[in-house]
Amino acid sequence: MGAMRRPTMTDVAREVGVTAKTVSRVLNDGPVAVETRERVLAAVRKLGYQPNLMARNMRVGARDAAIGLVIPEMGNPFFGTVAGGVESAVRARGLTLIVGSSDEAAGLEQSLIATFLARRVSALMVVPAASSDHRHLRSERVAGLPIVFLDRPSAGLRADCVVSANREGSRTGVAHLIVHGHRRIGFVGDVPASLYTRRERLQGYRDALDGAGLPYDRALVETGHDVEAAARATMRLLSLADPPTALFAGNNLASMGAVVALSRAGRKDVAVVGFDDLPLAEALDPPLTVVAQDPAAVGAAAAEMVLRRLDGDRSRARRTTVPTRLIARGSGELPPR
Amino acid sequence: MGAMRRPTMTDVAREVGVTAKTVSRVLNDGPVAVETRERVLAAVRKLGYQPNLMARNMRVGARDAAIGLVIPEMGNPFFGTVAGGVESAVRARGLTLIVGSSDEAAGLEQSLIATFLARRVSALMVVPAASSDHRHLRSERVAGLPIVFLDRPSAGLRADCVVSANREGSRTGVAHLIVHGHRRIGFVGDVPASLYTRRERLQGYRDALDGAGLPYDRALVETGHDVEAAARATMRLLSLADPPTALFAGNNLASMGAVVALSRAGRKDVAVVGFDDLPLAEALDPPLTVVAQDPAAVGAAAAEMVLRRLDGDRSRARRTTVPTRLIARGSGELPPR
DNA sequence: TTGTAGGCGTTATCAT
DNA sequence: ATGATAACGCCTACAA
């Protein structure tokens, strides 16, 4: 008898002596006689019938009851938390989440998007890779597919997006250092320099300097794409002839790099403010002052935007900014040496 | 003119003057005349045709070219990295990844699994929630659906699983503390106590004590389900009449809790070894000694197991153990006070 | 090399 | 309240 076929709606119908459509009606709360409904449900249980969502989604012109999400990296808790925020919001609507990670590579991102489109997902959510371009999505937008960008805006496409208050948050964090007396403040930022979040946060850094009448010194701006690189960048800053007395780290990896470098160098006299909170921030010595983002809120806001679009909201593309919050813990309040 | 319909294979065929089947052959590298192929491809480009994967997956008896993955929490970098390991391995085979998070709740896990089954995923990968039961998956296993459990084994179902060397790793970490002179070692573990990883790691702790002829003192075993709870658990241990001189933390959250508590209490004289590495471990004071897991390897190994099963491997269920590695950084080498 | 017929499992439409 | 028929977009099997 071999592997037996999984029961279909027709099998259930035959068991009861009705038509597939009647079974369908039972399962979709259509108009069915009470007695018929019960017999159908009994047969469903007896046969262990499970509706086939693939087939259901195949109905005339219908889309897959799934949302495609592209993030740069799943292991990064920032993006993981964003994805978690998306998933719970989306599941509440009976949609499932399909994810892929682009590894920050535009080509991979595009092929993931192509796969999702081929699956006819109901909506697309993308954290764009650094150098990606989204003009190829124009026809999809025109056709009405909801597309929302997270954390970073799209390139070459007018579409909804949800971002953190990068520039404002960064300005606040640097101003905090200035208030505590610092006049030479190093910036350890993302790579590449063209990355949206890096540009915005650097701009916030400059805003703060401008606001205090301090000069912008290019020598104080360094770059590192991972923890080790950020640590090296930090060491370069500290070994300048006229070194900074404080550091502003432009993301979570840069913060870790700065903290690691200072720890290795045994320096506890350099003030630090990091962009994005870290789980162990409080346990550091001194505890790390940060400009905290709210990744779950970014994910949730983006998901809500998608759901509104799915509900028919055709208003023009909107940018949502999720506020940041300065959390003073000690490292940002150190006075200049 | 309204939203125009997306072009189908038939539209392309009509454009060229052939049959849909011929277009299908072109797209699947079937036998087609060179000249016909070129005309078809031209029409594909012209119309912007994209194959419909939903329909393709609907073929007789076919399954969705997707893998369903259930993890307890997306924001936890451990599980995020596991998922990343799965995703890259799986994508290399043209499969996409569908994820859901169970929030460590058996009910939610089961409903996610039901959704994935309804979608007819090609395989199921599950990090089981603490109190879940998988007997309901027996029929799927019998029917040949590849099912692999990660990080924790299944309950009530004989199936493949990939776990870390919890007991052995834990034994090694505690033995390390003993070698450095400690005789009273506290254990800060997961909750609930029935959780597989917690049980295994506690057993490793006891193995190490036994191996050194040290007594097992229940008063030294505490529990915390998140960072704050673990911090409180740590404080309880430190305020015992005969307090431990060293702590073994049973997971990453417990490690953070222990570190946070010691930092708040200003205690730098308590030795600590944590299970699972932390990004900032090196920047702590003292730097944190850990038993590192390899979450990406866990994910990759599980994915490879799934792929073998998809390739027809029908051998009996196998358990794969991914080794851990002790990384001595300082906190685990402190002598007893 | 290319075409025809049929079906996957479901739901919409129109009858009865 | 229920049934018959067709259709969604693709692929397999067989035929020409």
State how far residue B261 is from chain A, nearest Cα, in angstroms: 8
- Identify whether B286 is preceded by a cis peptide bond (ω within 30 of 0): yes
Dist. CA A64–CA A54, nearest whole Å? 8
Provide the 8-state DSSP code for A67. E
Quick check: A212 and A175 in contact, CB under 8 A?
A: yes
pLDDT at B187 > cutoff 50: yes
* Interchain pair B6, A80: CB under 8 A: no
Contacts of A228 in chain B (CB under 8 A): none
Residue B55 beta carbon within 7 A of nucleic strand D: yes
Digit-coded pLDDT (tens) for B289-325: 999 999 999 999 999 999 999 999 999 999 999 999 9
Beta bridge partners of B96: B66
pLDDT at B3 > cutoff 70: no
Dist. CA B314–CA B126, nearest whole Å? 19
* Interchain pair A53, B115: CB under 8 A: yes
Q: CA-to-C1' distance for B105 and C11, Å? A: 34
Structure tokens at B25: 């052959």
Contacts of B79 in chain A (CB under 8 A): 80
| Shortest CA distance from A295: residue in chain B | B75
| Shortest CA distance from B258: residue in chain A | A283
Residue nearest to nucleotide D3 (CA to C1'): A19
State how far residue A215 is from chain B, nearest Cα, in angstroms: 32
pLDDT at A2 > cutoff 60: no
| Shortest CA distance from B84: residue in chain A | A74
pLDDT mean across residues, chain A: 94
Q: How many inter-chain contacts (A to B, CB under 8 Å) are there?
A: 161
Digit-coded pLDDT (tens) for A312-323: 999 999 999 999
pTM of the model: 0.93
How far from B127 is each of A32, A100, B73, CA to CA, in Å? 40, 19, 10
pLDDT at B265: 93
pLDDT above 70: percentage of residues in chain B: 99
The DSSP-derived string for B131-177 is T---GGGHHHHHTT--EEEESS--SSS--EEEEE-HHHHHHHHHHHH
Determine the residue among A54, A268, A278 to mutate to test chain B binding: the one whose Cβ has the most chain B Cβ atoms within 10 Å.
A54
| Shortest CA distance from B279: residue in chain A | A256
Digit-coded pLDDT (tens) for B244-263: 999 999 999 999 999 999 99
Residue B21 beta carbon within 7 A of nucleic strand D: yes
pLDDT at B4: 66
Q: How far is CA A309 from the centre of its chain?
A: 19
Question: What domains lie within chain B, and their CATH numbers?
Answer: 9-51 (1.10.260.40), 54-163+295-322 (3.40.50.2300), 166-294+325-333 (3.40.50.2300)
What is the gyration radius of the CA atoms in chain A, in angstroms? 26
pLDDT at B2 > cutoff 90: no
Dist. CA A50–CA B60, nearest whole Å? 17
Q: CA-to-C1' distance for A21 and D4, Å? A: 10
* Interchain pair B58, A54: CB under 8 A: yes
- CB-based contacts with strand C under 7 Å? A 5-6, 8-10, 20-21, 24, 27-28, 51-52, 55-56, 58-60; B 17-22, 25, 30-33, 35-37, 58-61
Question: Which of residues 98 through 127 in chain B touch A, CB cutoff 8 A?
Answer: 98-101, 114-120
| Shortest CA distance from B62: residue in chain A | A54
Edge-first strand listing for the sheet containing A147-150: A319-322, A160-164, A147-150, A121-126, A64-71, A96-101, B96-101, B64-71, B121-126, B147-150, B160-164, B319-322
How far from B212 is each of A292, B74, B171, B240, B290, CA to CA, in Å? 46, 39, 11, 23, 20
Residue in B116, B120, B284 closest to A52 by CB:
B120
pLDDT at A303 > cutoff 80: yes
Say if A321 is an interface residue toward chain B (CB within 8 Å): no
Tell me which amino acid residue B298 is: V
Backbone φ and ψ for B69, nearest 5 degrees, come out as -125, 130
Residue in B75, B91, B99 closest to A97 by CB:
B99
Dist. CA A46–CA A49, nearest whole Å? 8
Digit-coded pLDDT (tens) for A49-79: 999 999 999 988 889 999 999 999 998 889 9
Residue in A51, A119, A287 closest to B53 by CB:
A119
Structure tokens at B237: 């241990």
State how far residue A137 is from chain B, nearest Cα, in angstroms: 12
Digit-coded pLDDT (tens) for B204-247: 999 999 999 999 999 999 999 889 999 999 999 999 999 999 99
